[in-house]
Amino acid sequence: MLPARVPGPESTSTFYFGQHPIRVVVRDGAGLFVVDDICKAIGTVNPSSAASALAADQKATIVLADDERNSLRSTEGKARGSSVRTVVTEGGMYTLVLRSRDATKEGSAAYLFSRFVTDQVLPSIRRTGAYAAPAPPAPVGIDVRDPAQISVITLQLIQLSQELAGKLATVEAVVEEQRPMVDAYHAFLDDEGLCCLSTAASAIDAPQSLFFAWMRERGFLFDRDGYPQARADLRKDGYFKLRTVAGEYHRMKGQTMVTRAGLVWLRHRWLAGPGKVLALQAAVAAKQASLPGI
């Protein structure tokens, strides 16, 4: 049950769970916790849904102490004002925490929050009638006149610039490595940067019959409406496009086209699969042909 209202203004406190402020209203020595604050601290996405699942005697609405109309109302009441919040009892708070997926996972936010409230906040409320909250973490000040600080900042900026330069060099190396392959693909692409599936097979040096069988086996292609179509997620990722072309007797039909990015994507997967096997077979055949008497 919610504790009875005490005449006069409510006693409010704020404690910090890491960087998360948790507001608590103390009445009759019992804490009423703001739902929004709890949910942010333990990673619950929808505070309204979490609160609606609680029993009626575990929650209420409250106008926070910065509002002159400070009062506690039942969940059926229609308190007005921007500072109206839903609060829960100690039991309601535990219910919210325990319904979190990671409530029993040691080291998780929900687990650490429940330990913090149990070990520090509630004992303080019961002992003094309020929580003696420490001041929020103060931002680290930077004094631009302090040579020592400037030296540290300069060193950190140099290290950061070196890390970024290293990453940029890696990206540029990959681009240069793939440039000949990408340039070679231009010969297979039309003015829109697309090619048909048969042309894509030729571009990646794949036998057409094996290429189409592999595409269907991997689930990249499926047959519908009389022609092979690429999976929707692959089209969304920009590897394939559907085009409408004139067919027999001038009837319009669909055709699956491969983009430039799709050629690169297919080539990597082909070389890691059937292409690797074909290359190995070719190497074995060439080795056998060079051996005398075989």
What is the domain partition of the chain in residue ranges? 11-128, 150-186, 189-285
pLDDT at 131: 57
Cα angle 186, 188, 194 (rounded to 5 degrees) comes to: 85
Strand order in the sheet with 252-259: 194-196, 252-259, 240-246
- pLDDT of 278 > 80? The answer is no
Overall average pLDDT of the 133-141 stretch: 56
Predicted confidence band of residue 276 (pLDDT cuts 50, 70, 90): confident
Cross-strand pairs, 15: 22
Overall average pLDDT of the 26-36 stretch: 80
Q: What is the pLDDT of residues 200-246, one digit of tens each?
A: 998 888 898 899 999 999 899 998 888 899 999 999 999 999 988 77
Overall average pLDDT of the 35-45 stretch: 85
Sorted by sequence, the CB contacts under 8 Å of residue 50 that are 6+ apart come out as: 35, 39, 44, 96, 99
| Alpha carbon distance 131, 122 (integer Å) | 8
% of the chain at pLDDT higher than 90: 11
Structural contact between residues 206 and 258, judged by C-beta atoms closer than 8 angstroms = no
pTM: 0.39
pLDDT at 240: 94
pLDDT at 79: 42
Predicted confidence band of residue 76 (pLDDT cuts 50, 70, 90): very low
